[in-house]
Amino acid sequence: MATSDLGATLRNIRKTVGLTLDAVASQADVTKGYLSKVERGTASPSIAVVSRLADVYGVRLADVFIPDGERGPIAVTRVSERTQMNRNGIELGYVYEVGSPKKTNPRADIFFLTLPCLSDDIGRPEFSHAGEEVILVLEGQMQFTFAGSKILLGPGDCMQFDSSVHHHGVAIGGKDAKAFVVIIPDKREG
């Protein structure tokens, strides 16, 4: 999904639920200016930010990417059909591919994540969002920071954690790292 398409979708959802930029920015812990840039397609939000926005709007993360009318009881997504989202700037070049966008009422959101190998870990933003997250490293090595502790992960290593705690990952060892990510939202009442 292009950044401009994502921004337009987020703006439409916000207007549909009747919230102002100020109200959403405050609840999602982003600035009004940043949210405006996201909606105009001039800023590319992280999955954590999109997840927080979805929570504020009362929709599932998957609803932001694929409308209900395009979903079914089973979803098969071929590798060539994955929706790619490139995160530049503050998101450090992470590339997310939506793994299964067409399942009706999914209980979790799945992504394939590519982390670029960058020269240092200084000044990297940390992410937090509601729910739990599972990361399975497919290729390369990742240094994962969770609540300030650093954890080294390699191919086949898997971790599950409370994603409301500040976290981030970086590829190490001179090459990009690839991972399979599952985001399990908090259970909603009702």
**Domains in the chain: boundaries:** 3-65, 72-184
Instruction: Name the more confident of 88 and 115.
Output: 115
Closest of 129, 165, 130 to residue 149, by C-alpha: 165
Closest of 63, 47, 72 to residue 13, by C-alpha: 63
pLDDT in tens, 128-149: 888 899 999 999 999 999 998 9
Topology classification of domain 72-184: Jelly Rolls (2.60.120)
Tell me the HSE value of 107 on the side-chain side, using a 13 A CA sphere: 1
pTM of the model: 0.69
pLDDT in tens, 153-174: 999 999 999 998 999 888 999 9
Topology classification of domain 3-65: 434 Repressor (Amino-terminal Domain) (1.10.260)
